[in-house]
Every structure is written in C-alpha cells, then in structure tokens.
Amino acid sequence: MDRLNAIVICLDTFRADIVGPGAPLGFVETPNLDRLAAEAAVFERAFGEGQPTLQTRRSLFTGRRSFPWRYNFDRRGLWHHNPGWHKIPPEQDTLAELLLARGYYTGLVADTYHMFKPTTNFTRGFASYDFLRGQESDNWQPIDPEEAVTALRRHVREPEQWRRYGTLVQYLANQRDRRAEEDYDCARVFRRAAEWLERARRNAPFFLWVDSFDPHEPWDPPRGYADRYYGGPDWSGLDLILHGGGGPVSPEERERMRALYFGEVTFVDRWVGHLLRAVDQLDLARNTVVVVLSDHGTEVGDHGHFGKGPGHMHPYNTRINLMVRHPAGPRGLHLRPFVQTHDLLPTLLAALGLPPAPCDGQNAWRLVREPGQSGRDHVVMGWADFSGGVTGGRASVRTAEWNYVVTCHAEEPGPELYHLPTDPEERRNVVGDQPEVARRLRAHVEALLGRTLPMRFQENSDPGPAPISEYLGASRQRVGTL
C-alpha cells in the first residue's frame, strides 16, 4: 500500500457525550459523525491535558504537555492572557514539521482565530495554510454603533447599552454579510477544506488539519437548526447566543440556549459530512487516516451552568471526542483506557506506520492493534485561570473511580472529590469523608508539578483585553449611549 494520508478534524467546544449509540445526548442529530464513529476506533475515555483552546492545540500539535504552565514568552497582542496561552516553544517540533520532513504535503484550514494572533505562530510546518476570518472577537470588520444596536436586539436585553457587549458586537459585525448557510463560518471552513483536498490530493502523501471554531459560542447556527430542538419557527424570544443577555434568564430562554448549542452541533455535523463526502468522492478513504477530535466540551445547563472554565472540571467540559478511522480498520471498536490530547502525535505517527518522535504522550494505537493491553490508570488535567492577579488554575485527577479537583495556586476554593460509581453526575463532594483518597490523588498533581500545593506558577500572563473591549471601555465616558 502507498503511504497513508492523514486528515485531522478538530472541533472546538464539542461535547463527547453526543456522538454514537447510547450517548446521553444522543437525541442531538449528528448522522455524519455517527457514521464515522461506526467506522472508527473510538476512545471513550479521552480527556484534555491542559485547557482551554490554545493550550490544548499546543499539546495536540507537539505531543508535549502544556500543563503545568512554565513559559514566559512575549504575548503582547494576545487576548486573553490565561496561563499557557502562547506560542509553541521553539525547541518543540510540531506534528506538521515532523510530517513535512518525512515527505508529506501539509495543509491547515482553520477559523480558530487564536491560532493566528500575533506571536502564536501555530502555522509552523504547514506548506499551505488558510485562515478564515470572523469568529468571536476576531478584530476583523469595523463596527458601526447604529448597526450594533440593531444587531444586538435579538440577543441581549438592553441593546442600547451596546458598549457592554464587546465580543458580541465584534462577532455580529464580522457576520454582517451572511446571506445563506454556506456563508456561515463553519460552512466556509469545511468547504475550503474540501477544495484543498481537490487541489492538493496529488501531492500524496498529504496531511490536512481542519480546525473549526464551531460549535464554540456564540451559538449562532442558521435558525432552523436551533428550531429543531426548542421553540420552533414560532419562537419570538431572545436568542441568547453568548450565555445570557444582561439579566435573569427564564426557563424558556434556558431551553432555547440549549437548543442553540444543539443546533450548532447539528450544523457542524452537516458540514463535517460535506468534507467526508469529498473524501469518498475523491477516492481517498482507501488510503487516508481520518481523525476527529475536540479540545473540550461545555455545560449546557449541567450543574446549573452554561459554558466552561476551571471552576467546573466535570466531564461535560474536560472529556473530548477522539475517533480514528483507518483504512485497515478496526470498525466500531470502543476502547476504555484513558488517553489524552498529548497522545495524538505518537498515536497518529503509529497509525501512519511512521517511526516515533520524542514527546510526552503515549502511542494509543497499540491499544487498537492489541486491545487487551492496559493503558493509564489515571489522567491529570489542568485548566488555566487568571484571577485576582495570580497566574494559576485548577487541576483534576481522574481515575475509573474518582474525580479529584484542586486549586493549584491557593487553598480556596477547596478541593473536590467525587465517587463516580455512586455519583456519575459529580454532585456530591465527599472530600471530607475520604481524606486518604484525596491525599493519594493530590500526590499525582504534585508529582507532575514537582512541588507541593498550593504553588504559584512562574508564568507572567498579565491580562490583555480584546481591542474592541478596550475601545468600548475607553470610549464610555466621552461618548454617550445611543
């Protein structure tokens, strides 16, 4: 067989309990990803390593841990400045660089704008890259105050106070020219990825990384996708596409917020299907490894919350999708050993039949080829935080039986411990009842950090607002509201 190609599809904020038979949120329509899962090896206990967005991609690209936070690169021009949110260290080879050196034609198609901000340089090793502008607070299109108020009326309670909503104002300005489904960011990404395959496929072997910021918030799919899940075409309330809108949220609005996320997921699935059909139509499935993964999830009313962050290190947020479809199979194999994001690089190299490269991750492909092998008995995850002027975050140690969560840089908030067999929803903190278990799991975090807790990280990550937020804050006193 000729050398295998590789396509990796990374979906931001895509929960891992949606795809496949028996999934808790299986009512959400994802026919294309369901079909891929049935044809792939699926890692059911895949978790992040250092989160959120940019930290995860650094781990994915290098096979190195991003947590604990330890670098002090220049990051002026970045927003936000959470610990670990910076470029790939120059001494760490990337997956694209490794494959390029081994004769692969490498391509990146993405709208995850954080990867392209000044000083990040996540394009290393890609022979071609395509950055599609416009997501979230990407400082792309100019804003118009009158237009901002009009656009906000569907999404916030007090649109006239438009200076409160910097991210949303910028996002809506970026989306002003949408006319059809094909104009939405997610559709643009997967259409361009399919075009890349059409043009570049003769450069085999090739490696294509497709990075879709959706279904990250704002949860703003074409309306019909959300209508499937709540509200229907008669819905006339607010679409709170960014976790609220300046005031209490009614039960109906909460259901609509869930529907917006579910609709965004279904919309993403529809356009993932567009790319997968291109793979079939170009006769690439027979010699191409296809990987689908996510960087983290989100809460959609779980534990009473929407969104994600270091304060909610539950599986809705920390568990990720990871499925690998290989031309030689297996099909529909579900694996239970723990894997993490920094395992992707060695796993993909092994799946492609290539020699390993130095990294921190483990080759999970051996678990596919020899399913009886044991893997990790626990995983340690960090979620970056910048609060109270302190560079820090929280860590989670997860085993088959326990989830232990601890603040790294302070005594408060206190540790959490959940007994998963009796409390799968992780609602009862039993840390006071199980001091020995907590001590044992805490030791895993301290071993990784090389220090006892609490400890402050040395990384300098002063907060930096998005330019639109800085402008709106500075203009508040000299320019009244409309």
pLDDT band with cut points at 50, 70 and 90 for residue 479: very low
Q: CB under 8 Å to 32, separation ≥6 — which residues?
A: 269, 270, 272, 273, 276
Q: How does pLDDT run across 36-66, given as a tens digit for each residue?
A: 999 999 999 999 999 999 999 999 999 999 9
Triad 290, 296, 299: Cα angle to 5°: 130
Q: What is the per-residue pLDDT for 387?
A: 64
Residues 368, 349: Cα–Cα separation, whole Å: 14
Mean pLDDT of 130-156: 95
Confidence at residue 475, expressed as pLDDT on a 0 to 100 scale:
67
Please identify which residue in the block is written with the tokens 């899962």: 37
Q: DSSP characters for 330-357?
A: --SEEEEEEEEGGGHHHHHHHHTTPPP-
Domain spanning 5-377, CATH class = alpha beta
Residue at token pair 């059409």: 198
Alpha carbons 68 and 395: distance in angstroms, whole number: 9
| Greatest extent of the chain over all pairs of C-alpha atoms, in Å | 68
pLDDT score, position 480: 42
Decide if 316 contacts 304 (C-beta within 8 A).
Answer: no
Query: Which pTM does this prediction carry?
Result: 0.96
248 band by pLDDT with thresholds 50, 70 and 90: confident
pLDDT at 470 over 90: no
Neighbouring C-beta atoms of residue 114, cutoff 10 Å? 23
Contacts of 476 (CB under 8 A, 6+ apart): 163
Peptide bond into 205 cis (omega under 30): yes
